[in-house]
Amino acid sequence: MSLPRIGVIASHRMIEDTFPAQITGSNNLESVATVAKALPLIIPALAETREISSLLDVCDGFLLPGGRANVHPSYYGAEPGPAYEPYDENRDEIALELTRACVETGTPILGVCRGLQEMNVAFGGALHPEIRDIPGRMNHRMPKNEPNLDVIFQLRHGVRLSPDGKFAEQFGAEVIRVNSLHGQGILTPGNRVEIEGYAEDGTPEAISIRDAPGFALGVQWHAEYRTAENPVNRKLFEAFGDAARTHHAARHP
């Protein structure tokens, strides 16, 4: 059987502050290829590629990876301002519509960091621009001026999972440890968003979409880092790949 194809949504980035580019991290592609065992296809977040039905025809699943930009606050009724910046509105348009379409059609979708936030907003949820400003919350941002990736992506806090949820079933545990590289986070969950995991300070870290006919999960941590070596991240991407294979087989009997 041919490999399932997983679309990885890219983000806008200026290279050397001069050249516009559509990029995604190599870790995202390697996690899809080596752990999910699928063919990663980079989907540029451009207005010209916002043809959701065509994307669904081509791909057997989608990864919404992390990104430097934040979901534009107008999507959840907040007033735009410096605290919410920067933005990538082309990605917003594709990711939010694609999320809803994937859930409707049963196409597997996995959101990571910004991807979790996109899934939440797609179903009517809201975000807070700076989680560490909420009383009682820790600083979830990556360490500044740190060149060592293992330090940047080190496991920084625990996550307690719902004992009867999809994540606890997949991981075989109710408490896991994860990295933390985000400023924004879920303020209020969307109307179909089930929060299945919370950090020690109460920050939502793992979500599923209620009554989704297919795989539809999001995590706030960067599960794409050292995926093959980290048992939690490996199980997540393996399950994502299995779901994409099942979807591929159903579409191409």
Point out the residues that are catalytic.
Answer: 113, 222, 224
Query: Are 7 and 63 a contacting pair, CB within 8 Å?
Result: yes
Torsions phi, psi for 114 (to 5 deg): -55, -35
Q: How far apart are CA 122 and CA 132, in angstroms?
A: 24
Residue 134 vs residues 83, 137, 207: alpha-carbon distances, Å? 14, 6, 20
Q: How far apart are CA 122 and CA 101, in angstroms?
A: 10
Query: Are 166 and 208 a contacting pair, CB within 8 Å?
Result: yes
Query: Are 245 and 234 a contacting pair, CB within 8 Å?
Result: no
Burial status of residue 81 (CB atoms within 10 A of its CB: 0-12, 13-18, 19 or more): exposed
Residue 42 vs residues 45, 64, 137, 223: alpha-carbon distances, Å? 9, 11, 35, 18
Residue 8 vs residues 1, 74, 100, 141: alpha-carbon distances, Å? 21, 24, 16, 24
